[in-house]
């Protein structure tokens, strides 16, 4: 065999500070170029943020869903409703037939406002009795309802100014009585604390399971695990269930602090809240686990979680009013478990919503969980191919 003597490589004199820095820089760029997910994150995060903040988010939301309970058909009523829509804050989406139906719509979060035009309203206006028009508002989210309610002041002046059959008496022809339900004092904490339950659970649950499979792969324990008689479903459930308990403790802690320190009420049924919170926890864990089966390593799993977390914060109705978003953004929001859980947790804690009111959101979370689990189990690689 040939004896290979190391040749004396020529070296530059001096410290070579920039040369070594350059070497490090080149190496970092090569690694970055090979790391597709990091690359995607560099492009996607600013893009997604700009699009969402630019097009989807609106802190003075317009076209808010409104129910109108018409107890008489009249010109005055029609003029008022037209003026209401002309403010562009209100959009009449529902025409309930009874007061009970109005309550249900507000409880389930289908409408934010309900206008009631009572029997004999037109006659009272024409007689100069200055009757009151009742507008109920779901005030759980002060940001969503605030600007719409403040627009009502001018409405009184302008709604009937072209109607010349109304006596000119100096005072406006009718008044508006606003019934701000659930959060009459417009305390922000009442809305934020239940929202935080959902947001914190999303973040922590996602990260617990997002790392679980990639960690086994990175540490080399997956090879041993796969060589043993255990199925992907068994692995998944075994990894998810412990964290359901962890999440439950976490949820109880946040809700407890909210009640004790911030005076957030729990108007509804605590058992229902616990049950649906558990479902929400399991849904997030399943989604995190799905990321874990798709990602190549722990870093990618973390990056995926961050990219998923972003729209959750912005499009779920946590920070910005859901009803104020354009339709496409609302559709995206409907695919996020947090959107449904926020309606559930706010509905139960602040409005006393029941299982009947929340069945749609509960079912949606359940479906999202099954979709995530199915993807996870089918994506799970049973071999090292």
Per CB under 8 A, residues contacting other proteins are: 1-3, 219-224, 226-230, 383-385
Cβ of residue 5: shortest distance to other proteins, in angstroms? 11
Q: Distance (Å, rounded) from C-alpha 348 to C-alpha 38?
A: 40
Nearer to other proteins, 117 or 213 (CB): 213
Cβ of residue 219: shortest distance to other proteins, in angstroms? 7
CA 298 from centre of chain = 26
Nearer to other proteins, 2 or 356 (CB): 2
Any idea which residue has 């799905």 for tokens? 290
Q: Distance (Å, rounded) from C-alpha 133 to C-alpha 221?
A: 69
Nearer to other proteins, 137 or 217 (CB): 217
Cβ of residue 213: shortest distance to other proteins, in angstroms? 14
Round the CA-based radius of gyration of the chain to a whole number and report it. 29
19 SS3 class: helix
Angle at 217 between CA 216 and CA 221, to 5 degrees: 55
Nearer to other proteins, 170 or 220 (CB): 220
Cβ of residue 216: shortest distance to other proteins, in angstroms? 9
CB 133 within 8 A of CB 79: no
Nearer to other proteins, 135 or 213 (CB): 213
115 SS3 class: strand
Cβ of residue 223: shortest distance to other proteins, in angstroms? 5
Nearest alpha carbon to residue 319 among 329, 308, 311, 330: 311
Cβ of residue 308: shortest distance to other proteins, in angstroms? 27
Nearest alpha carbon to residue 231 among 381, 384, 385: 381
Nearer to other proteins, 175 or 221 (CB): 221
140 φ/ψ angles, rounded to the nearest 5 degrees: -55, -40
DSSP structural state of residue 163 = -
161 SS3 class: coil
């Amino acid at each position: 065999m040939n004896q290979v003597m190391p040749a004396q490589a020529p070296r530059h004199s001096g410290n070579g500070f920039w040369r070594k820095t350059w070497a490090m820089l080149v190496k970092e760029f090569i690694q970055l170029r090979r790391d597709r997910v990091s690359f995607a994150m560099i492009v996607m995060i600013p893009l997604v943020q700009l699009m969402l903040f630019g097009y989807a988010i609106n802190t003075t939301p317009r076209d808010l869903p409104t129910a109108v309970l018409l107890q008489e058909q009249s010109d005055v009523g029609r003029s008022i409703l037209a003026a209401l829509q002309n403010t562009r804050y209100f959009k009449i989406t529902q025409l309930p037939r009874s007061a009970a139906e109005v309550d249900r719509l507000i409880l389930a979060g289908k409408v934010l406002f309900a206008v009631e035009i009572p029997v004999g309203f037109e006659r009272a206006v024409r007689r100069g009795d200055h009757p009151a028009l009742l507008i109920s508002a779901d005030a759980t989210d002060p940001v969503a309802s605030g600007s719409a309610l403040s627009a009502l002041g001018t409405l009184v002046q302008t709604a009937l100014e072209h109607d010349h059959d109304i006596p000119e008496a100096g005072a406006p022809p009718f008044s508006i009585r606003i019934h701000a339900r659930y959060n009459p004092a417009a305390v922000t904490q009442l809305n934020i604390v239940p929202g935080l339950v959902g947001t914190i659970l999303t973040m922590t649950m996602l990260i617990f399971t997002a790392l679980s499979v990639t960690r086994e792969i990175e540490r080399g324990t997956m090879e041993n695990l796969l060589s043993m008689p255990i199925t992907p479903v068994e692995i998944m459930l075994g990894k998810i269930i412990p964290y359901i308990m962890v999440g439950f403790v976490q949820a109880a802690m946040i809700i407890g602090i909210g009640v004790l320190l911030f005076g957030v009420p729990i108007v509804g049924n605590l058992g229902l809240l616990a049950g649906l919170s558990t479902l929400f926890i399991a849904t997030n864990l399943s989604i995190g686990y799905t990321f874990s089966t798709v990602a190549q390593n722990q870093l990618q799993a973390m990056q995926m979680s961050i990219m998923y977390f972003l729209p959750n914060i912005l499009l779920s109705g946590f920070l910005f009013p859901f009803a104020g978003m354009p339709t496409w953004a609302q559709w995206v929001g409907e695919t996020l478990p947090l959107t449904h859980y926020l309606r559930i947790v706010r509905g139960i804690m602040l409005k006393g919503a029941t299982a009947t009111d929340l069945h749609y959101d509960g079912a949606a979370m359940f479906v999202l969980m099954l979709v995530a689990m199915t993807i996870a189990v089918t994506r799970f690689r049973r071999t090292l191919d």
